């Protein structure tokens, strides 16, 4: 099987889209935070929280969608903590974000140990199953690749459209973008910059947690340590790659996921026998860095990203 065959196979694209799904949720969440002017480096930890909260809800007898809801709530809670420290108190967004990541990750692992002290291999749950879309899933290649995914994947794609519409077609989105471009303009119009930013960070963190929950509830069906494995950091890069636009960020997520799916498959070709497998593992990251360098040259950074706003400051 050579690379062309791989690129034409439905299973390859199905895998790429599956791998992209958690990245889409979390990157959208990060995008919302950054568009309002707050860099949320808590993303990695909030994904861990979401993964655990969703999985634990289902494991202890809750429904799948209840798990999704609990995961989002847990994410929003950490988002609130992040927002309170960075928005009204105006603390360093780097320090707070990394702190949230460490806190959230450690608390999650601690809770896991408390909840399941005796367990050595993590238990599985009944996760979301693929839900082929009638008619559309019968299209050759495209059908099995795109329209035979789990409901959460459809939700991820739907959210890209929803976030685009909200950002560019509603007064709320306008105010949110303005808070990230020039908070003084928002305040001068009698709106509360603080409320907009806190709301955006909470909503964004909810989406990050949902990205984490996808891993346990729609991909691996169980929770284990280190499972988020840097996906949060990748999402930060994807937002830059996407120039802070939902559509472009989606393309970035699919591209990264495709490289990831590709490297696994290339390892099984004759080429894979000759080269150390680490080279293949590196590939998606190397190509992401390259793509990022090329794309970010013309990126439109929100002008007030990481700039705290204090009303009435002299």
Partner 1 sequence: MAGTAHKAPVVLRLDRITKTFGALTANDAISFDLREGEVIALLGENGAGKTTLMNILFGQYTADSGSVAVFGKTLPPGNPRAALTAGVGMVHQHFTLADNMTVLENIVLGTQPLWKAGFNRAGARQRILELVGAYGLSVDPDALVGSLTVGERQRVEILKALYRDARILILDEPTAVLTPQETDDLFATLRKAVALGLSVIFISHKLHEVMAVSDRVVVLRHGRLVAETETAATDKYTLAELMVGARIDPPAVQAAPVGRVLIELENVSTPDRGAAPGLKSVHLKIRGGQIVGLAGVSGNGQAALFDVLGGLITPARGVLRRDGAVPGRWSPRAAVAGGIARIPEDRHKTGTIPDFNLTENAVLELYGQPPFSRRGWLNRGAARAFARRIIDAYDVRCPGPETRIRLLSGGNMQKLILGRVLETVPDVILANQPVRGLDIGALTYVHEQLLAARGRGAGVLLISEDLDEIMALSDVIHVISEGRLSPGFERGSKTTAELGVWLAGHGFGEGDSDAA
Residue 135 engages partner 1 in binding (rule: CB under 8 A) = no
Site size with partner 1, rule: CB under 8 A: 24
If one asks whether residue 188 binds partner 1 (CB under 8 A), the answer comes out as: yes
Exactly one of 19, 175, 253, 262 binds partner 1 (CB under 8 A); that residue is: 175
Cβ closest to partner 1, residue 98 vs residue 187: 187
Residue with smaller CB distance to partner 1, 124 or 169? 169
- 172 in contact with partner 1 (CB under 8 A): yes
Shortest distance (Å) from residue 92 CB to partner 1: 16
Give the nearest distance from C-beta 28 to partner 1 in angstroms.
19
Binding segment (CB under 8 A) for partner 1, from list 97-105, 141-149, 188-196, 204-212: 188-196
* Residue 167 binds partner 1 (CB under 8 A): no
Q: How far is the CB of 182 from partner 1 (least distance, A)?
A: 4
Place of tokens 């749950």: 125
Nearer to partner 1 by Cβ, of 175 and 254: the residue is: 175
**Among residues 18 and 245, whose Cβ is nearest to partner 1?**
245
74: which residues sit within 8 A by CB, 6+ positions away?
A: 49, 50, 53, 209
Q: CA–CA separation, 240 vs 314, rounded Å?
A: 33
- 178 near partner 1 (CB under 8 A): yes
Which residues, 6+ apart, have CB-to-CB distance to 256 below 8 Å? 20, 23, 234, 238, 284, 287, 288
Q: Which stretch binds partner 1 (CB under 8 A): 42-50, 63-71, 84-92, 295-303?
A: 295-303
Told to check if 290 binds partner 1 by CB under 8 A, we report no
Is 310 among the residues that bind partner 1 (CB under 8 A)? no
| Tokens at 165, concatenated | 């519409």
Residue 249: name the closest of 12, 10, 14, 20 by CA.
Answer: 20
Q: Closest approach of Cβ 100 to partner 1, in Å?
A: 27
**Counting contacts by CB under 8 A, is residue 99 touching partner 1?**
no
314 makes contact with partner 1 (CB under 8 A)? yes
170 binds partner 1 (CB under 8 A): yes
| Residue 10 touching partner 1 (CB under 8 A) | no
Contact between 302 and partner 1 per CB under 8 A:
yes
Q: Contact with partner 1 (CB under 8 A): which of 117, 171, 270, 276? A: 171
Nearest to 144 by CA among 260, 273, 11, 274: 11
Binding residue for partner 1 (CB under 8 A) from 94, 136, 169, 224? 169
User: Which position among 185, 283, 295, 299 is part of the footprint of partner 1 (CB under 8 A)?
Assistant: 185
Give me the residues that bind partner 1 (CB under 8 A), please. Answer: 169-172, 174-175, 177-178, 181-182, 184-191, 300, 302-303, 311-312, 314
């Amino acid at each position: 099987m050579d690379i062309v065959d791989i690129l034409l196979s439905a299973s390859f694209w199905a895998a790429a889209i599956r791998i992209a799904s958690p990245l889409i949720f979390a990157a959208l969440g990060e995008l919302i935070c950054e568009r309002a002017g707050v860099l949320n480096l808590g993303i990695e930890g909030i994904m861990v929280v979401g993964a655990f909260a969703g999985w634990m809800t289902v494991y202890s007898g809750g429904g799948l969608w209840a798990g999704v809801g609990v995961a989002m709530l847990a994410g929003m809670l950490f988002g609130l903590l992040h927002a309170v420290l960075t928005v009204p108190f105006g603390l360093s967004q780097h320090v707070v974000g990394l702190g949230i990541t460490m806190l959230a990750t450690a608390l999650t692992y601690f809770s896991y140990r408390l909840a399941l002290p005796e367990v050595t291999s993590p238990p599985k749950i009944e996760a979301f199953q693929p839900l082929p879309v009638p008619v559309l899933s019968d299209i050759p290649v495209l059908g099995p690749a795109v329209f035979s995914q789990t409901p959460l994947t459809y939700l991820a794609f739907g959210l890209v459209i929803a976030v685009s519409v909200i950002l560019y077609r509603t007064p709320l989105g306008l105010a949110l973008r303005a808070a990230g471009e020039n908070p003084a303009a928002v305040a001068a119009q009698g709106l509360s910059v603080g409320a907009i930013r806190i709301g955006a960070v909470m909503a964004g963190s909810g989406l990050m947690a949902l990205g984490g929950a996808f891993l346990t509830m729609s991909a691996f069906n169980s929770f284990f340590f280190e499972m988020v494995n840097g996906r949060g950091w990748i999402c930060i890069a994807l937002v830059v790659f996407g120039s802070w636009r939902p559509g472009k960020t989606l393309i970035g997520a699919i591209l990264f996921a495709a490289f990831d799916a590709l490297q696994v498959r290339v390892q099984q070709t004759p080429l894979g026998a000759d080269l150390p497998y680490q080279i293949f593992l590196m590939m998606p990251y190397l190509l992401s860095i390259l793509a990022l360098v090329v794309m970010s040259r013309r990126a439109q950074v929100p002008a007030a990203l990481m700039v705290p706003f204090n009303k009435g400051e002299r």
